[in-house]
Amino acid sequence: DGGITQSPKYLFRKEGQNVTLSCEQNLNHDAMYWYRQDPGQGLRLIYYSQIVNDFQKGDIAEGYSVSREKKESFPLTVTSAQKNPTAFYLCASSIAAGPNEQFFGPGTRLTVL
């Protein structure tokens, strides 16, 4: 089946540790996105990538890093510099950047202990 997979579904980390969230898509989409969702805050854009080997910061990029070495993969690293990393993280993709439908993965809930 075509779609977006995120792993793991739940993730726990100790304060001060870096952690990488996985996002894979087999839709052959050029664009991929990472959002953070907090209660009552809606979705906020962390990073996005319009094409392989290219990515741009979103509204809340501080404390996060990404890579886009392959078209189908867009991992997000939450670094120890992120002050409040506990949140629900959603990955999405679209056929191209711009006003296109975004397809979302099931999300990863990160909890910092």
Residues that bind another protein (CB under 8 A): 31, 33, 35, 40-45, 48, 50, 58, 88, 90, 92, 97-99, 101-107, 109
Least Å distance, CB 16 to another protein, is: 27
Q: Which residue shows structure tokens 């726990």?
A: 12
Rounded to the nearest whole angstrom, what is the least distance from the CB of residue 17 to another protein in the complex? Answer: 24
- Between 50 and 80, name the residue whose CB sits nearer to another protein: 50
Nearest distance in Å: CB 100, another protein: 8
Task: Fill in the amino acid letter for 64.
Answer: Y
**HSE-up (13 A, CA, CB side) for residue 27:** 20
Q: Which helix (H) or strand (E) holds 77?
A: strand 76-78
